[in-house]
Structure 1
Amino acid sequence: MVLLYHFYPKIFTGGFVGVDLFFAFSGFLITGLVIDEYSRDDHFRLFNFYVRRFKRIVPPLLLAVVIVLPMSLLISRDFITDISHQVAAVLGFVTNYFEILTGGDYENQFMPHLFVHTWTLAIEMHFYLIWGLILWFLVRNVIKQRHFSVVARGEMLRERVGLAAIIIVMIQLVLVNVEVLQGTNVNQLYFADLTHSFPFFLGALVASFTGVYHLPEAFQRLIDRWSTRRAIVLMFLGFAVLMTLLFCLHYDNDVTYLYGFLLASLATSVMIIAARVLHEKTPNIKEPAILTFLADASYSVYLYHWPLLIIFSHLMERNEAIILTTVLSFVLAALSYYWVEPLLTNRKLGFQHNRKPWLVGRWTAYCCLALLTVNGAWICTQAPQMSSLTRKLWVGNVQQDLDQLNGLAGQFNQNTSSASPVQKGKIPAGVTIIGDSVTLGTRASLAERVKNASIDAQANRNMGEANAIVAQQIKANTLRKNVVICIGTNSLDDYEQQLQDLIDQIPKGHRLILMTPYDGQADATWNSAKLAVLERKLPAKYNYITIADWNKIAPAHKEIFGGGDGTHFAGNSEGDELYAKAINQALKEAAKKPVKS
């Protein structure tokens, strides 16, 4: 589900709830194994619990980081901007809070962090630390009840674990509802422990009822009453709910946070119960080897797929990148699980039969890991602290502020001199350019290449905000004769109405030039692509509108984007020249047309 969401986010819009499926299952498995340990040994060793979690999580994670870092050099250095902080957040298991603090930055919409997906590991580790302590406390409390039998104490532990899990789930669900009603940013809701770790505890609740190896009497009675057919029906019912969520949920919808994550977790819990019953009902059916491999490799596949997808998507076509990402993720995951991890954690290798190859393999693994780690550390120290896009946007903003100050100074001097101000109603000559971050990144070039142009650009600007700028300039009588609108990459769902509002408010005596938006990551279903199609139809209806078709020009010159995000070309002189040329060509065409009458 997660891979489908990352590969085709516009089709499998709710695939991110695969994370909640994993959370619920992880909570079930970990809690069930702790209860089993107490039932078997009449004890729970917290330190050993943490060591087991460390060995399972950290070696594959470290290996993935040091392998991905050198591969990231294949694309733009902008993607490793300040990478040391990302790596520190990953290895410190605080990526979720790192994303809350930085993931909302405009640049990250186009250049996502290579390790953003490790936010799940951060929440998982926090769960292990906190829930492990709670379980240890509950076990210690139960052990003191010496007047009860071992079996009775085991049932007592299950009841207390279940009660603790229910309390935590209820508190978090209430908190989620309060945060949604208060309009809390969805990134914070999605990444925060307090609003997105309840699936772990739902899984823990299931474990307290079913167990993993040691079955409680109540669940054994349930197994005796249920038929295999009923368990299969329940399994497919939970699966059907998950498939429905896969296509229906959306990341930024309140319904997702109020009900979606809960439904996904409950459906997973139902499937766990059904699978546990089926396991007892079908003792002679063995798990297919391919499923065992998928289970072994799944964690490392998750670690590799996201950064590899980002890297390969900027080197080849999307579908080719997806295929290569999938294949290489499984190859690296198999290498990690069946060779490197056993060597690093002293786990037995399935394909080793004597000690000598094991020693050779172990030292080979240590040397390779050491070299990769040193190389990764070097990459972190050499990574830029500010991307070329950020630097260009900063420069553009400063230049724009200076131009506005100079404009205010000019108006002040004009109003205080003997010369009369521009008469009200007289249209200033020249060009007004209103744009978003793409325009802002090339602002200095436009100022040089487009004659008599006033440029107003801002990152993340949409058509509604551009309309407000136009209205302000109309009121101040500063809107020039030729109005160029370079907006659309950040199109909202109401783009049609906003475009019509722009057309309606352009005053008489002006010409309107629309620069069609281009987003290298967009397909035909994106609002920006739909806006480009709509804008091309307008000159047939309005004779004062001209199209500068950047949406067609840019794809024919992909070299201007380098290995970047496919939308911005900040710092690329060829891109600057091509962008200005498109506007100047459209202005020449517009000069042959009438103004709005």
Structure 2
Amino acid sequence: MRIKWFSLIRITGLICVLLYHFFQMRYTGGFIGVDIFFTFSGYLITALIIDEFSKTKKFSLHDFYYRRVMRIVPPLILMICVVLPFTLLVGRDYITDLTRQIAAALGFVTNIFEINTGGTYESRFIPHLFVHTWSLAIEVQFYLLWGLCLYLLTKYSQTVKQFRWRVFGGSFALATISALAMYLRAKQLTEFSPIYFSSVTHIFPFFIGSMLGAIAGIQDVLPQFSESFAKHWTKKWAAIFMGVNLGCLFILAYCLRFSEQITYMFGFLLASLFAAGAIFGANVLHRKTPDIKEPQIFTYLADISYSVYLFHWPLFVILSKRYSNWGAALLTTILAVIFASFSYYFLEPLLRGKDVAVLGKTFNLKQVLAPLGIFTTLAVGFGVYLCLQAPTISSLEQNLLLGGIQQDVTKLETAYAKATAPKVEQQLAQTQTADQTIPEGTTIIGDSVTLGSRSYLLEHMENVDIDAEGNRTMNLAYDVLMNLQNTNQLRQNVVICIGTNALDDYQEQTQKVIDDLKDGHHLIFITPHDGNADSSYNSYKLGVWERTLPKKYNFITIGDWDEVARAHPEAFEGTDGTHFGGREDTSKLYLDCIQDALKRAQKTPLKGEK
């Protein structure tokens, strides 16, 4: 039995995801499309299992797993085989760590892989081609565990009613635990990806859907649902209820931000509840419109939605490097629809042993087995070749790693030189420390952007110390500042190149830097630049706020790297729009920005001077 109007739920989820990936700057919360899919899957799977138990008084775990495998695996394998040749259109960085990417996707552990490698859709490095299969990993993990749990429940449930309420109670408990885990972790939020990708914190939408499935299933439903809603709600009210919930989902897709705390504390939960509301409304509307046929376009788009989701992300990552954003989005959509249609209407039925009619000709599995085998053999061979050619880390990551190693070596050499210096020199150094004489020159404290250009800066600047580290936020920069200041290693000119990873408390943390810096220093802030950020991002807001500081503090100077970078978009071609380590032309722009700020700082008073 197919419920009409459920197609609109799937289509809404797909549209949200596509808008987010294609136009991330505008539809910043479209990632909730995944939560819509999660909620719908939880509802549908639970409702179908209850229906099966209601009819037969048993539940076949083997058949359940078989159906899931046949629906999930063929399009996944096809997607990987089809996408790999497209990587020839871009540089080798886009196949970085390809072996582990493919293994994680096929092993349904991409979410764990991304947590361990620090990946994200909004990655500041080269995005993984198969990062989007993180959601598929959580879905399969849910199917494996939840299917087994419900199978065991059927063994200890005497009636459908008893089974239903046990499913509801278990779903409620698990949804509460998972949502609470996300809420509590979000309160101490320092990094988003581990919460977003975690099965523990992001599995609650499935159980919210399961709760609804236990109450208002597909065929077997609670009498209370049938009497209270299916009978008393009008067609109009059911449509309005569904429409309002879908509308709320689109509002969330427009308003939420991946890097904001409120998204994790409440945003995902609201998205799941609105999705459940839309499912509920569609269920009632289905029962109220027995004579109305669902438009075929809705059914078609819903059928291919899963496969479109699989194909669109890697294709867009690749094509967006060759075409304009609009062109890449259009071409990606066309190709994804073609491949998804082939998978759903041709390949998958054949693999399930069904005959397929195409243009009046009928095909069966035996007829396509030879070409399918040749295609698979060629695809596997090409995949193995690419895996053997794939770098372990991208060129940008390699540059950052090298910069970090060089920085660590410098620190070790400095520490060794101090430890082995003659006693007279050590006593002199101790005397200087006691006198708290501020060393001349410049101290630069930066994040991964600075780390990538560290070698270039050291080659072209005199009397400078650089301490940079990836993912450094302002509070961590403050700790470095205090340590250098307390050990009398902080030079007269203090340059803070922090902000790409700005958290919600960026003003408070920056103010601590300003207040606790001792007298006798110039303080220079280099505004952060994130090529993917708009005015809603903390990095952008921090830059705006930093520009106001010289009017309030005469010892502060601003180096406006964000303004320089936006005026030279060509300097970021082939990069992630933020980092440029290894590119000499962009490193020179960065150096010029810092040196210009230092020159202007010399014309201002030191902190503590009038």
Structure 2 length-normalised TM: 0.82
Match of 2:309 among 288, 302, 305: 302
Q: Secondary structure at the match of 1:565?
A: coil
Instruction: For 2:486 and 2:215, locate their aligned partners in 1 and report how far apart those are by CA, in whole Å.
Output: 69
- Which residue of 2 is the match for residue 68 of structure 1? 83
Match of 1:29 among 36, 44, 67: 44
Please state how far the C-alpha of 1:86 moved relative to its aligned partner. 1.8
Cα distance change, pair 318–471 in 1 and its aligned pair in 2 (3 A): farther
Cα distance change, pair 409–374 in 1 and its aligned pair in 2 (3 A): closer
Structure 2 residue 450 is matched with structure 1 residue 439 = yes
- Which residue of 1 is the match for residue 61 of structure 2? 46
Aligned residues of 1:490 and 1:528 also touching (Cα < 8 A)? yes
More displaced stretch, 290-299 vs 375-384: 375-384
5 Å matches for 1:126-145? 126-137=141-152
Please state how far the C-alpha of 1:243 moved relative to its aligned partner. 4.2
Q: Secondary structure at the match of 2:277?
A: helix
Structure 2 residue 404 is matched with structure 1 residue 416 = no
Aligned residues of 1:470 and 1:479 also touching (Cα < 8 A)? yes
- Counterpart residue identity of residue 61, structure 1: L
5 Å matches for 1:301-450? 301-355=308-362, 363-411=370-418, 413=421, 416-417=424-425, 420-421=428-429, 423=432, 424-450=435-461
5 Å matches for 1:555-570? 555-558=566-569, 560-570=571-581
Cα distance change, pair 435–317 in 1 and its aligned pair in 2 (3 A): farther
Q: Secondary structure at the match of 1:196?
A: coil
Structure 2 residue 100 is matched with structure 1 residue 85 = yes
Instruction: For 1:220 and 1:497, locate their aligned partners in 2 and report how far apart those are by CA, in whole Å.
Output: 54
Instruction: For 1:207 and 1:519, locate their aligned partners in 2 and report how far apart those are by CA, in whole Å.
Output: 43
Cα distance change, pair 124–485 in 1 and its aligned pair in 2 (3 A): closer
- Which residue of 1 is the match for residue 590 of structure 2? 579
Q: Secondary structure at the match of 1:417?
A: helix
- Which residue of 2 is the match for residue 470 of structure 1? 481
Cα distance change, pair 356–482 in 1 and its aligned pair in 2 (3 A): closer
Aligned residues of 1:82 and 1:386 also touching (Cα < 8 A)? yes
- Which residue of 2 is the match for residue 153 of structure 1? none
Cα distance change, pair 432–346 in 1 and its aligned pair in 2 (3 A): same
Instruction: For 2:81 and 2:423, locate their aligned partners in 1 and report how far apart those are by CA, in whole Å.
Output: 63
Match of 1:97 among 112, 125, 128: 112
Structure 2 residue 35 is matched with structure 1 residue 20 = yes
Aligned residues of 2:171 and 2:208 also touching (Cα < 8 A)? no
- Counterpart residue identity of residue 282, structure 1: T
Cα distance change, pair 217–462 in 1 and its aligned pair in 2 (3 A): closer
Instruction: For 1:591 and 1:217, locate their aligned partners in 2 and report how far apart those are by CA, in whole Å.
Output: 80
Instruction: For 1:428 and 1:215, locate their aligned partners in 2 and report how far apart those are by CA, in whole Å.
Output: 77
Cα distance change, pair 277–249 in 1 and its aligned pair in 2 (3 A): same
- Which residue of 2 is the match for residue 167 of structure 1? 170
Cα distance change, pair 297–544 in 1 and its aligned pair in 2 (3 A): same
- Counterpart residue identity of residue 539, structure 2: S
Structure 2 residue 200 is matched with structure 1 residue 212 = no
- Counterpart residue identity of residue 424, structure 2: T
Structure 2 residue 237 is matched with structure 1 residue 230 = yes
Match of 1:458 among 469, 473, 476: 469
Please state how far the C-alpha of 1:452 moved relative to its aligned partner. 1.9
- Counterpart residue identity of residue 177, structure 2: V
Please state how far the C-alpha of 1:347 moved relative to its aligned partner. 3.9
Instruction: For 1:526 and 1:477, locate their aligned partners in 2 and report how far apart those are by CA, in whole Å.
Output: 35
Cα distance change, pair 275–175 in 1 and its aligned pair in 2 (3 A): closer
- Which residue of 2 is the match for residue 200 of structure 1? 206
Cα distance change, pair 594–141 in 1 and its aligned pair in 2 (3 A): closer
Please state how far the C-alpha of 1:468 moved relative to its aligned partner. 3.6
CA displacement, residues 384-428 of structure 1 (integer Å, 9 cap, x when unaligned): 112323332332223223323333445452763398447435442
- Counterpart residue identity of residue 417, structure 1: E
- Counterpart residue identity of residue 196, structure 1: H
Aligned residues of 1:59 and 1:341 also touching (Cα < 8 A)? yes
Match of 2:70 among 40, 50, 55: 55
Aligned residues of 2:25 and 2:533 also touching (Cα < 8 A)? no
Instruction: For 1:126 and 1:505, locate their aligned partners in 2 and report how far apart those are by CA, in whole Å.
Output: 49
Instruction: For 2:466 and 2:121, locate their aligned partners in 1 and report how far apart those are by CA, in whole Å.
Output: 20
Instruction: For 1:595 and 1:274, locate their aligned partners in 2 and report how far apart those are by CA, in whole Å.
Output: 66
CA displacement, residues 218-243 of structure 1 (integer Å, 9 cap, x when unaligned): 65545334332332233234335534
- Counterpart residue identity of residue 172, structure 2: V
Cα distance change, pair 456–178 in 1 and its aligned pair in 2 (3 A): closer
- Counterpart residue identity of residue 206, structure 1: L
Please state how far the C-alpha of 1:58 moved relative to its aligned partner. 0.7
Match of 2:506 among 495, 515, 522: 495
Instruction: For 2:360 and 2:82, locate their aligned partners in 1 and report how far apart those are by CA, in whole Å.
Output: 28
Calculate percent identity across the aligned residue pairs: 46
Cα distance change, pair 331–523 in 1 and its aligned pair in 2 (3 A): farther
Instruction: For 2:531 and 2:260, locate their aligned partners in 1 and report how far apart those are by CA, in whole Å.
Output: 25
Q: Secondary structure at the match of 1:276?
A: helix
How many aligned positions are there?
585
Instruction: For 1:483 and 1:342, locate their aligned partners in 2 and report how far apart those are by CA, in whole Å.
Output: 66
Aligned residues of 1:114 and 1:307 also touching (Cα < 8 A)? yes
More displaced stretch, 524-533 vs 253-262: 253-262
Structure 1: state its 5+ residue gaps.
Answer: 146-155
CA displacement, residues 31-60 of structure 1 (integer Å, 9 cap, x when unaligned): 333444455667654333322221111111
Structure 2: state its 5+ residue gaps.
Answer: 1-15
Aligned residues of 1:172 and 1:195 also touching (Cα < 8 A)? no
- Which residue of 1 is the match for residue 138 of structure 2? 123
Q: Secondary structure at the match of 1:230?
A: helix
5 Å matches for 1:280-291? 280-291=287-298
Instruction: For 1:165 and 1:92, locate their aligned partners in 2 and report how far apart those are by CA, in whole Å.
Output: 30
Aligned residues of 1:431 and 1:483 also touching (Cα < 8 A)? yes
- Which residue of 2 is the match for residue 523 of structure 1? 534
- Counterpart residue identity of residue 99, structure 2: S
Please state how far the C-alpha of 1:269 moved relative to its aligned partner. 3.3
Q: Secondary structure at the match of 1:298?
A: helix
Please state how far the C-alpha of 1:88 moved relative to its aligned partner. 0.9
Please state how far the C-alpha of 1:448 moved relative to its aligned partner. 1.5
CA displacement, residues 346-390 of structure 1 (integer Å, 9 cap, x when unaligned): 444353422479877664444334323322222122211123233
More displaced stretch, 542-551 vs 19-28: 542-551
More displaced stretch, 110-119 vs 232-241: 232-241
Aligned residues of 2:418 and 2:426 also touching (Cα < 8 A)? no
Aligned residues of 2:356 and 2:362 also touching (Cα < 8 A)? no
Cα distance change, pair 266–575 in 1 and its aligned pair in 2 (3 A): closer
